[in-house]
């Protein structure tokens, strides 16, 4: 991922230097287990443990000849080992995937921990914002069209619980990818004791593989990428709400606009939802990782490396982009500008059409047939759409023409927006308990 969207903590997790440090750690843990079991000389452990991780440049120089990244790494690390002879016991009984998959598991779980912290922040931001606006009346929209009265906090609560579910999926996916496999060529433990795998897994606070051939099957990694894609898409859902709310015709919501910020190179009046649009665009990047990574599940027999090149691109990109999206979306919510007066004005802008549901039910409960009631209310509503005459007036005229008596006091009661949201208190109690 380009630097523009890479935050420091997540960038460090996926840096080449950090990767080689993890490779050194895994190899050292394996060597220590061998030495403890008496399979290799005990005096080789300290020199290997003290050897500095090779630089990416040193590995790349050797790989240009070997065309094998693990061999290049081992050679470059051996160059840093004193005495160099101690390095002969590194990678003892292992195959490349033992190192690659185990170190990748550490990267994935470390990346997940960073994401979970950001997810906590987003959930808290949505929770607090929703509670702050539990009484902020707005019009609810279906198909983009005014429907019935609602409160802004209700919409935010829905997104808050979605973000919390995303966080829970990610916690589950962390377990799915936190797998250690140290089982040797084709995974039969022919040249390495299964106890080594268990020792390494315990040291890394991960779990040993249920089974491995030479690679860990990629269903767990696919689950992890899918969890990231869902998180990114929920971020996009939040951003889409802001993008709609910031349209000139709506003007209910807007992103914070800082001092000195410019909206357009040509039109000085512009204040555009640039953060929300960036979120929408980057969510596509994360979703795009699902299929390529999932296609790494079916490999030839015990192993091929068709998954490797794909994962080098998509796993870091998906993690880094999701990290950026969570950070950006949390900031968007924390600084969101809500125009409650404009929300109320928009709610009232259709002249009472948003109360047709309540009027329809009132007529039915008063004894009128549903079809007759629907025809009366719809006819009055269509006249309001066409003429702009307030709904109560068109309803009254239609009722008189049809010989229907209206209970005006009852209509006054049901045509209040607060009536529509009176039953949301349990929802906000659940929202307040969300952590």
Instruction: Enumerate the active-site residues.
Output: 143, 264
Q: At a CB cut-off of 8 Å and minimum separation 6, what does 172 contact?
A: 223, 227
Is the preceding omega at residue 389 within 30 degrees of 0, hence cis?
A: no
Widest pairwise Cα distance in the chain: 105
- Find out whether 391 and 355 touch, Cβ atoms under 8 Å: yes
Which pair of tokens denotes residue 214? 């030479």
- How big is the chain, counted in residues? 435
Query: What is the rounded CA–CA span in Å between residue 391 and residue 378?
Result: 10
Residues 31, 35, 38: CA angle, nearest 5 degrees: 140
User: Cα dihedral angle (55, 56, 58, 59), rounded to 10 degrees?
Assistant: 120
- Find out whether 252 and 198 touch, Cβ atoms under 8 Å: no
**Measured CA distances, 397 to 59, 350, 393, 402 (Å):** 85, 18, 6, 9
Cα first-last separation, the chain: 31
Instruction: Enumerate helices (H) and strands (E) in the chain, giving the number of each.
Output: 19, 6
Helix-strand-coil split of the chain, %, nearest 5: 65, 5, 30
Query: What is the rounded CA–CA span in Å between residue 200 and residue 205?
Result: 9
């Amino acid at each position: 991922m380009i630097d523009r969207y890479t935050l420091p903590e997540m960038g460090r997790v996926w840096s080449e230097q950090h990767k080689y440090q993890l490779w050194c750690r895994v190899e050292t843990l394996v060597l220590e287990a061998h030495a403890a079991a008496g399979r290799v000389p005990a005096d080789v452990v300290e020199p290997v443990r003290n050897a500095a991780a090779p630089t990416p440049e040193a590995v790349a120089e050797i790989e240009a000849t070997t065309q094998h990244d693990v061999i290049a790494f081992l050679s470059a690390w051996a160059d840093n080992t004193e005495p160099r002879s101690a390095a002969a016991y590194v990678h003892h009984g292992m195959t490349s995937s033992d190192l690659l998959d185990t170190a990748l598991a550490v990267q994935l779980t470390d990346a997940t921990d960073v994401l979970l912290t950001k997810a906590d922040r987003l959930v808290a931001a949505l929770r607090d914002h929703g509670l702050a606006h539990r009484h902020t009346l707005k019009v609810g929209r279906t198909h983009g069209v005014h429907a019935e009265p609602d409160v802004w906090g209700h919409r935010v609560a829905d997104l808050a619980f979605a973000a919390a579910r995303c966080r829970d999926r990610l916690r589950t996916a962390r377990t799915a990818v936190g797998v250690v496999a140290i089982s040797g060529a084709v995974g039969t433990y022919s040249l390495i004791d299964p106890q080594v795998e268990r020792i390494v897994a315990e040291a890394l606070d991960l779990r040993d593989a249920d089974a491995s051939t030479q690679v860990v099957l990629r269903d767990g990694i696919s689950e992890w990428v899918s969890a990231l894609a869902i998180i990114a898409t929920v971020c996009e859902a939040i951003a889409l709400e802001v993008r709609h709310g910031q349209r000139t015709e709506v003007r209910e919501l807007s992103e914070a606009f800082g001092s000195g910020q410019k909206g357009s190179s040509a039109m000085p009046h512009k204040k555009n939802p640039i953060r929300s649009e960036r979120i929408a665009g980057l969510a596509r990047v994360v979703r795009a990782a699902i299929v390529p990574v999932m296609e790494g599940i079916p490999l030839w027999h015990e192993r091929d490396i068709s998954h490797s090149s794909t994962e080098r691109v998509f796993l870091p990109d998906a993690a880094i982009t999701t990290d950026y999206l969570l950070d950006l979306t949390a900031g968007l919510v924390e600084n969101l500008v809500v125009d409650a007066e404009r929300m109320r004005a928009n709610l009232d802008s259709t002249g009472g059409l948003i109360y047709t549901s309540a009027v329809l039910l009132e007529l039915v409960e008063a004894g009128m047939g549903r079809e007759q009631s629907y025809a009366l209310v719809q006819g009055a509503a269509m006249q309001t759409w066409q003429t702009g005459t307030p709904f109560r007036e068109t309803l009254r005229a239609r009722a008189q023409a049809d010989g229907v008596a209206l209970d005006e006091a009852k209509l006054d009661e049901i045509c209040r927006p607060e009536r529509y949201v009176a039953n949301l208190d349990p929802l906000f109690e659940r929202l307040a308990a969300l952590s």
